[in-house]
Amino acid sequence: MEVEGGAELCFPELLNASCRKPTPPGSEAVLLNILLSSVSVLTVALNLLVIISISHFRQLHTPTNILLLSLAVSDFLVGLLLMPVEIFLSTTCWIFGDLLCSLYHYVPLIITSSSVGHVVLISVDRYVAICDPLHYTTRVTVTRVKLCVCVCWFCSSLYTILFSEVDPTQPQSQSCYGECVILLGYITKFIDLVLTFILPISVIIILYMIVFMVAVSQARAMRSHVTAVTLQPSVALTTKKSELKAARTLGVLVAVFLMCFCPYYGVSLAGDNFFNNSPVYHVLYLLYFNSCVNPVIYALFYPWFRKAVKLIVTLQILQPGSREANVL
């Protein structure tokens, strides 16, 4: 059955209760879907390499890497679940019912809030490592970091459940059969903006400003020490250099995170009418693109990641004792 304008219905038997089928995508939309599909595959592959690398090699079982591992799991789920469904929603009707529609909207909230939580934890980790290095090994242990990661995922899931119940009338489901849309009230969106963006981003920026200032002062002190002493740098200096390099690398990670998330939340403040405009709506893809960029940052700045990938690709990790291989 067709309706006015020649548009077909998703469920013809429901007549006026059915949504219209999406119009066939134009050349621009097709290219965008192809690009998003490619990014999805690349995101899954790259983050899977990060997960295997840190999980397999014992040398990489450090507190900071545990945080990167959990963040990689979050990014992996983005490429495996969110991107394909986003492509599906833009090209066809939703045929999986209200339950799976609600579940689909829970998953992005959990992944997004957990990603923000992981970046906060990474910032705290670098703050302690740079500003209180003498107590870092005793305060930041693998066991404690694993516990923090579990708490992060738990709180993200709990927040998502509570967030959906902020307003008894929300979330509102789709207005017709064949679409998967959750409509949130302004108050609900404002609470989400404050709790998942403004507060954590403020903490991240403040911590990294402190880390940056301390790192600059430590770098100057080390240069002065090396210039004044003719002997080779001590182990303490080498350790400091390593921590400073890690801080710079993770600083790049945080900066890219902010660049990808700020446009999305900035546009969301403008309201649904502005957000649903096609060109503006594409800022959503920046969130997905961030999940693909993180492993690229590791590849550019972490030699251990490049060594681990080489061992994985050549299947040397299948050999006995490969977990003890030296990748640092």
* Positive or negative torsion for Cα 124, 149, 167, 174: positive
CA distance 219 to 170: 52
- Choice between 254 and 122, residue whose per-residue pLDDT is larger: 122
Question: Which region among 21-35, 67-81, 293-307 has the lowest average model confidence (pLDDT)?
Answer: 21-35
Give pLDDT, residue 171: 42
Give pLDDT, residue 41: 93
Residue 263 pLDDT grade (very low, low, confident, very high; cuts 50, 70, 90): confident
Average pLDDT over residues 77-105: 82
Give pLDDT, residue 53: 94
Cβ neighbours of residue 26 closer than 8 Å, sequence gap 6 or more = none
Question: Which region among 24-33, 219-228, 276-285 has the lowest average model confidence (pLDDT)?
Answer: 276-285
Helix 97-131 × helix 142-163 angle, to 10°: 140
Give pLDDT, residue 271: 56
Percent of the chain with pLDDT over 70: 75
Task: Answer for the pair 242, 136: CB distance below 8 angstroms, yes or no.
Answer: no
Across 136-145, 189-198, 251-260, 273-282, the highest mean pLDDT is recorded for 136-145
Give pLDDT, residue 270: 61
Task: Answer for the pair 239, 258: CB distance below 8 angstroms, yes or no.
Answer: no
Residue 166 pLDDT grade (very low, low, confident, very high; cuts 50, 70, 90): very low
CA distance 226 to 238: 11
Give pLDDT, residue 90: 74
Give pLDDT, residue 243: 61
Residue 105 buriedness (CB in 10 A; 0-12 / 13-18 / 19+): middle
pLDDT digits (tens, 9 = 90+) for 199-231: 988 898 888 888 888 877 766 666 665 555 544
Task: Answer for the pair 201, 258: CB distance below 8 angstroms, yes or no.
Answer: yes
Q: Please count the helices (runs of H) and the strands (runs of E) in the chain.
A: 13, 0
- Choice between 129 and 242, residue whose per-residue pLDDT is larger: 129
What CATH topology corresponds to 27-226+241-318? Rhopdopsin 7-helix transmembrane proteins (1.20.1070)
List, in sequence order, every residue forming a beta bridge with 57; answer none if it has no partner: none
Note the pTM of the prediction, 2 decimals.
0.82
Give pLDDT, residue 140: 92
Give pLDDT, residue 66: 95
Task: Answer for the pair 46, 14: CB distance below 8 angstroms, yes or no.
Answer: no
pLDDT digits (tens, 9 = 90+) for 48-62: 999 999 999 999 999
pLDDT digits (tens, 9 = 90+) for 180-205: 776 666 777 778 888 888 898 889 88
Residue 308 pLDDT grade (very low, low, confident, very high; cuts 50, 70, 90): very high
Average pLDDT over residues 280-305: 79
Angle among Cα 306, 307, 311 to the nearest 5 degrees reads 115
Name the residue ranges covered by the structural domains of the chain: 27-226+241-318
CA distance 141 to 136: 8
Task: Answer for the pair 204, 123: CB distance below 8 angstroms, yes or no.
Answer: yes
Query: What does each C-alpha distance from 146 to 45, 50, 140, 184, 276 come to in angstroms?
Result: 24, 17, 10, 33, 39
Average pLDDT, the chain: 78
pLDDT score of 28 more than 60: yes
pLDDT score of 13 more than 60: yes
Radius of gyration of the chain (CA): 23
